[in-house]
Amino acid sequence: MEALEKGAGRPPGERGQLINVAYRLLGSLAEAEDAVQEAYTRWYALPCGKRDGIVSPGAWLTTVTGRICLDVLGSARVRRERYVGAWLPDPLPDPAEHGHGPGADPADRMVLDESVTMAFLVVLEAMTPAERVSFVLHDVFCYPFAEIAGVLGRTPAACKQLAASARRRVPAARPPEAADARTETVRRVKEAWENKDIAALVDVLDPAAVMTADGGGVAGAALRPIEGGGRIAPYMVAVTDRAPGTELVERTVNGLPGLVAVRGGAVVTVAAFDVAEGRVARIWVVRNPEKLRPWSTAYEREAGPPGADRGDDVRAGGAGFAAG
């Protein structure tokens, strides 16, 4: 784990890297933070002589964090079977958009790249725990299979096979959508949604588009995915009347253009989009308040004191996002 070994003299300096690894393994910021905290607890519980004898504290912490995540993934599969409705990964805000740099919040430590897009994280959910660990550590973080073997307790050859199996679950890459095109497409969704324009929404949605919502049984959300642009558009318009006074804001979600709904000064919904050829192919809507805490914190920082001007990009309109 050469990337970690560089400058690994002080273990606390690895926390940001470990949170990035754990989030991609678990899809949950809270669980990632807990896993990293547990790894540090085990580090400081080591006798001083044993701790001083560890050549690469960063590599040791990564191995332990990986093992903890592996255990969490095993139990998470059972918990998510009991989850009310669809389970989606935690959406990530972009700290740069909210006027602050890295801070205490684990979301502030996240590196936003293609490995944290909602589309990619949803694919990871289809993998077995061992496949996910092997694939993420090798293909995303470039760790050698010899090191991954120490995490999984398997041979390097077996870890290589696990990564190959996981790789087959990843859809074939398509030509990347230009950043400006993505932004424009999401903006079209926002404007059509605010105007309750079903025809305009149908035009910007792929005919085979799918909307998946996560309310966790706490916030209203469609329990099953809604398929087809012709069904999604009227559904989106129908829910607008159920949430008067909601503000719809363009924000980066997991590194890509998305939308955030704010009501009564609180973030109530975050939506991520997969855009292909100028149309929306997938919409992932997160309404579970437990998964929106980093967004509420970011919004409060951005808004400033009560009554402060939030800027022209926050406009009334929109909806509760897939409230059911």
pLDDT at 298: 67
Q: What pTM was estimated for this model as a whole?
A: 0.86
| CATH code 3.40.50.720 for 179-316 | no
Q: Characterize the bridge pairing of strands 266-276 and 279-286.
A: antiparallel
Q: What is the pLDDT of residues 46-82, one digit of tens each?
A: 998 898 899 889 999 999 999 999 999 998 877 877 8
Task: State how far the Cα of 291 lies from the Cα of 304, in Å rounded to an integer.
Answer: 22
The CATH number assigned to the domain with range 2-167 reads 1.20.140.160
Question: Where do runs of H (alpha helix) occur along the chain?
Answer: 2-5, 15-26, 29-45, 48-52, 57-81, 118-125, 129-135, 145-152, 156-167, 179-194, 198-204, 229-240, 293-303
Confidence check: pLDDT of 322 > 70: no
Task: Return the domain boundaries, the chain.
Answer: 2-167, 179-316
Q: Write the DSSP string, 264-299.
A: TTEEEEEEEEEEETTEEEEEEEE--GGGSHHHHHHH
Q: What is the pLDDT of residues 266-275, one digit of tens each?
A: 899 999 999 9
What is the CB-side half-sphere exposure of residue 273 using CA atoms within 13 A? 31
Question: Where do runs of H (alpha helix) occur along 46-144?
Answer: 48-52, 57-81, 118-125, 129-135
Phi, psi angle pair for 255, to nearest 5°: 85, -5
Ramachandran region of residue 84, left (φ > 0), alpha (ψ -120 to 50) or beta? Answer: beta
